[in-house]
Amino acid sequence: MAGLPTIEAYPLPTPGDLPANTAQWNVDPARAVLLVHDMQRYFLGPFPEPLRTQLIDNASVLRRGAAELGVPVAYTAQPGGMSEHQRGLLKDFWGPGMRPAPADREVVEPLTPGPGDWLLTKWRYSAFFQTDLLTRMRFHGRDQLILCGVYAHVGVLATAVESFSHDIETFLVADAVADFNESHHRTAVEYAARRCAVVTTAKEVFA
């Protein structure tokens, strides 16, 4: 049945759990953008504690680090209330999606976007699809993208692959993303490390 599944708690990966990275890139705050991916109430609703709080806390570490270092922060968020045409094939996998109500659409605190953050309306899995993310990055001379948010094996991974395809050095923060289960999470992290990104942890990104 289309829609979001029930999610059971699982442990987020630690540095010792991470696969070996193929690429050896390092984050440069002068080149990077932080993308907070789909951290809306609707998508975080199925997560149990303590997984939900751990995810938000680790994403918040990145948000604070970006602010301290002058790294632009971008947010993706679905608009809610999509028409059948706007929803397209998403409806066959996920049903009608979120309502336009704030209870679904709002980015969870304390990750609420601030003045000057980049707000991108999300239409499909990749954050680049029908948004100006790439244009903004090129305009600001940014060629690195740091990814946190949900869901790891769906939109986060799709965004990582497209980012790599645009020759953007991509960093997937393994303990600041989450998924429907530990297996999906691990699959996304392992694929990213081998094929399109550097996998790291929230404490290591701006260290």
Active site residues: 38
3: confidence class by pLDDT, cuts 50, 70, 90: confident
pTM: predicted TM-score of the whole model, two decimal places: 0.96
Nearest to 191 by CA among 207, 179, 206: 179
pLDDT at 2: 72
**CATH architecture assigned to 27-205:** 3-Layer(aba) Sandwich (3.40)
Task: List pLDDT tens digits, range 92-147.
Answer: 999 999 999 999 999 999 999 999 999 999 999 999 999 999 999 999 999 999 99
**Backbone CA torsion sign across 72, 78, 80, 81:** positive
What does the domain layout of the chain look like in residue ranges?
A: 27-205
CB 165 within 8 A of CB 159: no
44: confidence class by pLDDT, cuts 50, 70, 90: very high
φ/ψ of 57, rounded to 5, equals -60, -45
What's the rounded mean pLDDT across residues 7-34? Answer: 98
